[in-house]
Amino acid sequence: MEKIYTDKLLSIIIPVYNAEKYIVETLNSIYNQTYKNFEIILVDDCSSDNSAKIIEEQMKSHCEIVYHLQEKNMGAAVARNTALTIARGQYVAFLDSDDLWLPEKTEKQIKLIEEKDGAFSFTAIEMIDDNGQIVKKKRKVKDKVNYKFLLHNTMIPTSSVIIDRNKIGDFSMPLRRSGQDYATWLQLLRDGTVAYGINEALVQYRVGHKSLSSNKFKSIKQVWQIQTQDEHINKISAFFNVVRFGFNALKKYLF
């Protein structure tokens, strides 16, 4: 039976794991959105810190929050998929528990989706440190991204994505411990769907303690696995895609 989504409702999906340091700031960036028709699905992947208590306190004054505690730690992909089954909205947005949105982010994207009669939107980001200070200004994005382009580029940041499920239909993320976001975007664009970009930094991505160099080397391996295993691309084509992917990723982070 086809799932019926609540018209115009935006379901914001946040996997939570030991997020006590940033979760309130992240939630505040949602409360401050100019688009007000939303619900917040927080899926706790068995945090060992005070995340649950902080969320419980937030729920006292914010009825938009839906909290779900996983039975065991299963990773971000499972947490997001759990949230997708709970979510009621026509629109779904993804947000990491330490990233931030600028106030007009969701309103601008939903407006773009409606104007283009599209199904998928994303925005540019800027990078911040643990203290919220900008460490790298806007990473430019294209106004349109298709499947072929995404095979060799890192253009779509997870915390910037909004998807219209009335157009895309029900979907879930591949069960990977990492790289599941990239695999999902390929899956959704495979049939010719176009992702529409907004070249404005409407998301602040928190770099924090993450090592960009090690993450990039790891992502190269993930791209190879996703393209050859999930997308069944022949190894010669996948090799050239991965080389271009690595070059484009390096260029974005270093220049």
Give the per-residue pLDDT at 179: 87
Instruction: Identify the band that residue 255 occupies on the pLDDT scale cut at 50, 70 and 90.
Output: low
How far is 12 from 88, CA to CA, in rounded Å? 10
Strand partners, 128: 134, 206
Taking the CA atoms of residue 192, residue 194, residue 6 and residue 201 in that order, the dihedral angle to the nearest 10 degrees is: 160
Mean pLDDT of 88-101: 98
What fold is seen in the domain 6-210? Answer: Spore Coat Polysaccharide Biosynthesis Protein SpsA; Chain A (3.90.550)
Give the residue with greater pLDDT, 99 vs 246: 99
| pLDDT at res. 169 | 95
pTM over 0.85: yes
**Spatial distance between the Cα atoms of 143 and 158, rounded to a whole number of angstroms:** 16
Angle between helices 180-189 and 212-225 (to 10 degrees): 40
pLDDT digit string (tens) for 131-161? 999 998 888 899 999 999 999 988 899 999 9
Q: With the CA atoms of 109, 113, 118 and 119 taken in that order, what torsion angle do they form, in degrees rounded to the nearest 10?
A: 50
Q: Per-residue pLDDT for 254 more than 70?
A: no
- DSSP string covering 118-173, please? -SEEEEEEEEE-TTS-EEEEEE---SEE-HHHHTT-----GGG-EEEHHHH-S---
Q: What's the pLDDT tens digit per position in 43-81?
A: 999 999 999 999 999 999 999 999 999 999 999 999 999
For the residues of 84-106, what is the DSSP string, one character each? HHH--EEEEEE--TT-EE-TTHH
Predicted local distance difference test score (pLDDT) of residue 214:
43
pLDDT score for 236 = 97
**pLDDT grade for 162, boundaries at 50, 70 and 90:** very high
C-alpha distances in Å from residue 55, one per residue of 19, 47, 62, 80, 169: 10, 12, 10, 17, 30
User: Angle CA(129)–CA(135)–CA(139) in degrees, nearest 5?
Assistant: 115
Percent of the chain residues past pLDDT 70, beyond the cut: 94
Given a contact cutoff of 8 angstroms between Cβ atoms, the answer to whether 49 and 75 are in contact is no
Mean of the per-residue pLDDT values for the chain?
A: 92
Helices (H), 159-234: 165-168, 180-189, 212-225
Q: What does R_g of the chain's alpha carbons equal in angstroms?
A: 17
**Torsion sign, CA atoms 21, 185, 170, 79:** negative
Query: What is the token pair recorded at 57?
Result: 């306190």
Contacts of 69 (CB under 8 A, 6+ apart): 44, 46, 52
Angle at 6 between CA 106 and CA 167, to 5 degrees: 70
Q: Answer whether 13's CB lies under 8 Å from 95's CB.
A: yes
pLDDT digits (tens, 9 = 90+) for 183-225: 999 999 999 999 999 999 999 999 875 444 446 567 788 999 9
Q: What is the mean pLDDT of residues 91-97?
A: 98
Q: Mean pLDDT across the stretch 25-36?
A: 98
Calculate mean pLDDT across residues 22-41: 98
State the pLDDT at residue 20: 97
Residues of the chain within CATH 3.90.550.10 domain(s) are 6-210
Predicted pLDDT of residue 216: 59
pLDDT, residue 215, reads 60
What's the whole-number mean pLDDT along residues 115-139? 94
Secondary structure letter of residue 228 according to DSSP: I
At residue 246, does pLDDT exceed 90? no
Indicate whether 249 pLDDT > 80: no
pLDDT of residue 6 exceeding 80: yes
